Copies of this chain bind each other. A is one copy, B any other.
Amino acid sequence: MRVRTLQPDDRFRLESLLSASVNFTAEEVGTALEVIDEALEGDPDYLVNVLETDDAEVAGFECHGPVPLTIGTFDLYWIAVDPRVQNRGFGRVLLRAAENDVRSREGRLLLIETSSQPGYAATIGFYERNGYALEARIRDFYRVGDDKLIFAKSLVPGVD
């Protein structure tokens, strides 16, 4: 298993991986692909890492980037692992890759936004196990009854 940066050939594989994830709507898959395309075009606001298994299969990816008008704050925009290979720690490896990249760019705060809907409980548990704490909630953000939760982790050097 290894983590590497995004390559043009990955796009098709990432599209099928996103489409296979029950947690993403068609609109969300479209938004994720737009971000992947921006990253492939070299947009420095979107940084993508891909996780490859030992047999060179792309099993997941994450996308993060600096938040404009901040000093040292980054967003984790997407993280997804192929449903067929979940529960093997691949998500954790991708998350660590994002955190290390943020630290290498003098980032100090990594934010992750997610939904309060029950379908995201496992995702939220994953973030909490990896040191993220609920920082803020915007009620009815996605739709009435579906809040936006913002999780945060301090990445000050030496803390983790």
Binding site for B on A (CB under 8 A): 27-28, 31, 67-73, 108-109, 111, 135-144, 150, 152
Contacts and interface: CB of A to CB of B under 8 A. Distances in A.
Contacts of A27: 69
Nearest to A34: B68
A152 B139 CA distance: 9
Contact of A142 (B69, B138, B144): B69
- A interface, by DSSP: helix, strand, loop or mixed? strand
B135 A150 contact: no
A55 B19 CA distance: 55
Contacts of A141: 67, 70, 73, 109
A136 B109 contact: no
A109 B152 contact: no
A141 B108 CA distance: 10
A135 B142 contact: no
B69 A140 contact: no
B69 A31 contact: yes
B135 A135 contact: no
13 contacts: A67-B141, A69-B142, A70-B141, A71-B142, A73-B140, A73-B141, A73-B142, A109-B140, A109-B141, A111-B138, A135-B138, A138-B150, A139-B152
A31 B25 CA distance: 30
